[in-house]
Structure 1
């Protein structure tokens, strides 16, 4: 996260709002304002701030109830909330933390104290997000390793539903079968004579609860491994491959069995390594590497 952020100020006292607008604005932050708890919850439907400064004593929904409601929503739960209160009673402070606040500021507040607390909690938020991204990448790498068989293997259950695919099989199915649905049945297009894939079934005597299949391309085409020559990891090469096929990040997340946020992180790394700023530029670089005689020679 950069040094600047979006801060939502929820307070029904214009004088307080004016002071905070000026102080936070001078510090480079974008400031959103809500005059009530109901207004704050409505604003969150359209914009997600990085941090919320929330007054306790307000008509209608007070700060405690407003905080409780926003923490019930998974989309807003991770937003740091700092209570602003004229109450200095221990019980009120404890309740603030019980409702999900990370800190509180006692009124009348000092501008420098507000800015210092905001800065601290934005830094903590940035660290937490970085740790979450790192953890997601590690989990994705472990999942990738667990499915890193170099054969295109599919296993179906007694109903014919796909229960396991290696990464290569998943890639081939998405590439050649428009009717393939992840975790569904084997696509009907596999049985057509013009299918680009050959499907071989292996059985075990006396066992019919699982079926084991191996896929092979009839005419092998360039694959993500050709993009490794660009200095990418194997997972980044897969992501770039699907970018070159015109897939969105949510589509790629579904195809690769990863989280959308993890794919976003891979795309950031790909752009950095390739020196690209747009998906179109990255796709052109991938297509150049994949064409016959391109920079990749797999």
Structure 2
């Protein structure tokens, strides 16, 4: 694991020799800057985890340097500890009100400085981990909410759920329409025998494709039946065969149509962040590195004769 980096800003670094040695001995990486200007240059070149900042310096003093650190988006969360030999309560209040996390009086006591530095490094690491966990939780919640929305949307699919005796437990409106279209007089409350017996039902209106899945608890068998018309062009549902969830298949379908994540979010009625998460997951499931490769996999299913 990479050691935390501490930037020490003081116009007389020789006075801090014992402090620097103490920080080094604790396994910390230490950078030195003899002015506020030099400190800002170092911050722009490499990441820093904490700043020890002298208040009284020629030119750009500690307060002016601190204001620039806080104004920069990439540095705003870096903990800054002020150091000064001026024992002025008003100055301490000014530093803390400006946003400094601590205030150290000179001459410094190395063990105290090290203890405070360690404490604020640990607090920063804990805060970053919490932010990371919150981001993961928000993404997970977004995906779950999207799954719920997808479930509501799935009521437009032609799905029948029946018990072990063929009695209909649940049936979508789309399934009802297809049954009446391809079987003029389907039995009421039961799955037609031909639907339970065959994967293809041919009639005057065309061919009805049937998929059956067994499930349910022991002693309570259930059969899930999915109906689709053979003449229907390939769509998102066909991409499920690639090992994707139905929602991931929908996202991949629109990627294959050349839509951006933002455009896909509008089409599917969800947030761009949720689509980003689905894209990340479907790329992993497909074992590809980018959207272009994913679209190629999708087109192998959607347009198998294109090559």
| Range of TM-score over shorter length | 0.5 to 0.7
Does the aligned pair in 2 maintain the 1:25–1:31 contact within 8 Å?
yes
CA–CA distance in structure 2, aligned partners of residues 167 and 10 of structure 1: 51
CA–CA distance in structure 1, aligned partners of residues 136 and 95 of structure 2: 34
Counterpart of 2:67? Answer: 68
* SS of corresponding position for 1:52: strand
Matching of residues 72-87 of structure 1 within 5 Å: 72-87=71-86
Counterpart of 2:179? Answer: none
Larger radius of gyration: 2
> In the TM superposition, what whole-angstrom CA distance separates every residue of 1:235-258 from its partner, at most 9, and x where no partner exists?
98546337x31149xx9xxx9xxx
Counterpart of 1:93? Answer: 92
CA–CA distance in structure 1, aligned partners of residues 267 and 29 of structure 2: 57
Counterpart of 1:105? Answer: 104
Matching of residues 5-154 of structure 1 within 5 Å: 5-148=4-147, 149=150
Aligned mate of 1:183, from 262, 265, 275 = 262
Give the superposition deviation at 1:76.
Answer: 0.5
Does the aligned pair in 1 maintain the 2:251–2:264 contact within 8 Å?
no
Q: TM-score, normalised by structure 2?
A: 0.55
Give the superposition deviation at 1:167.
Answer: 4.8
Q: TM-score, normalised by structure 1?
A: 0.57
* SS of corresponding position for 1:183: helix
Does the aligned pair in 1 maintain the 2:54–2:83 contact within 8 Å?
yes
CA–CA distance in structure 2, aligned partners of residues 71 and 211 of structure 1: 40
CA–CA distance in structure 2, aligned partners of residues 5 and 82 of structure 1: 15
CA–CA distance in structure 1, aligned partners of residues 70 and 143 of structure 2: 33
Give the superposition deviation at 1:185.
Answer: 8.3
* SS of corresponding position for 1:31: strand
Matching of residues 147-226 of structure 1 within 5 Å: 147-148=146-147, 149=150, 167-174=248-255, 176-177=256-257, 179-184=258-263
* SS of corresponding position for 1:108: coil
> In the TM superposition, what whole-angstrom CA distance separates every residue of 1:104-135 from its partner, at most 9, and x where no partner exists?
11000011011000011111111111211111
| Distance change >3 Å, CA 40–CA 212, structure 1 → 2 | closer
CA–CA distance in structure 2, aligned partners of residues 183 and 83 of structure 1: 45
CA–CA distance in structure 1, aligned partners of residues 133 and 125 of structure 2: 12
CA–CA distance in structure 2, aligned partners of residues 235 and 212 of structure 1: 13
Does the aligned pair in 2 maintain the 1:53–1:82 contact within 8 Å?
yes
Does the aligned pair in 2 maintain the 1:147–1:167 contact within 8 Å?
no
Does the aligned pair in 2 maintain the 1:7–1:53 contact within 8 Å?
yes
* SS of corresponding position for 1:60: coil
Aligned mate of 2:288, from 232, 245, 259 = 245
Does the aligned pair in 1 maintain the 2:85–2:107 contact within 8 Å?
yes
Does the aligned pair in 2 maintain the 1:68–1:100 contact within 8 Å?
no
CA–CA distance in structure 1, aligned partners of residues 124 and 146 of structure 2: 33
* SS of corresponding position for 2:45: coil
Give the superposition deviation at 1:21.
Answer: 2.3
